[in-house]
Amino acid sequence: MSDTTALCESTTDFPQHPMFTFNSDGTMTRNHSLYPNTAATPDPNDDTIALSKDVPVNQSNNTWVRIFLPRQALDSSTDTKFPLVVYTHGGGLLLLSAATKIYHDLCSEIAARVPAIIVSVDYRLAPEHRLPAAYDDAVEVLQWVKTTQEHWLRQYADFSSCFIMGDSGGGNIAYHAALQAAAQVDDLLPLKIKGLILLKPFFGGVKRTESELRLANQPILPPPQTDFTWQLALPIGADRDHEYSNPIVGGGSKFLDQFRLLGWKVMVTGGSEDTLFDRQVELAKLMEQKGVNVVSYFDDSPHDMIGDPVKLEALYVNIKKFILS
Do the Cβ atoms of 317 and 289 come closer than 8 Å? no
Query: How many percent of the chain have pLDDT more than 90?
Result: 84
pLDDT of amino acid 160: 98
Check 10, 108, 168, 253 and give the catalytic one: 168
| Annotated active-site residue in 211, 274, 278, 301 | 274
Q: How far is CA 231 from CA 10, 85, 129, 221, in A?
A: 7, 30, 13, 14
Rounded to 5 degrees, φ, ψ at 173 are -65, -45
Our CA dihedral for 170, 172, 176, 177, rounded to 10 degrees, sits at: 10
Residue 14 confidence (pLDDT): 58
pLDDT in tens, the chain (325 residues): 444 444 444 444 555 677 778 888 878 888 877 889 999 999 999 999 999 999 999 999 999 999 999 999 998 677 899 999 999 999 999 999 999 999 999 999 999 999 999 999 999 999 999 999 999 999 999 999 999 999 999 999 999 999 999 999 999 999 999 999 999 999 999 999 999 999 999 999 999 999 999 999 988 899 999 999 999 999 999 999 999 999 999 999 999 999 999 999 999 999 999 999 999 999 999 999 999 999 999 999 989 877 789 999 999 999 999 999 9
Q: Which of 89, 104, 176, 303 is catalytic?
A: 303
Q: Which of 184, 179, 146 is nearest to 286 (CA)?
A: 179
What pLDDT sits at residue 13? 56
pLDDT of residue 1: 40
CB-based contacts of 81: which residues, under 8 Å, 6+ apart?
A: 156, 157, 158
In degrees and rounded to multiples of 5, residue 145 shows phi and psi of -60, -40
The contacts found for 22-25 with CB under 8 angstroms, 24 or more apart, are none
Assess whether 303 carries a catalytic annotation. yes
> Which H or E run contains 181?
helix 169-182
Strand pairing report for 28-30 and 20-22: antiparallel
Looking at residue 19, its pLDDT comes to 75
> For residue 8, what are the CA distances in angstroms to 25, 96, 236, 248?
6, 21, 12, 30
pLDDT of the residue at 282:
98
Catalytic residue list contains 168: yes
Q: Is 52 a catalytic residue?
A: no
- Confidence at residue 191, expressed as pLDDT on a 0 to 100 scale: 97
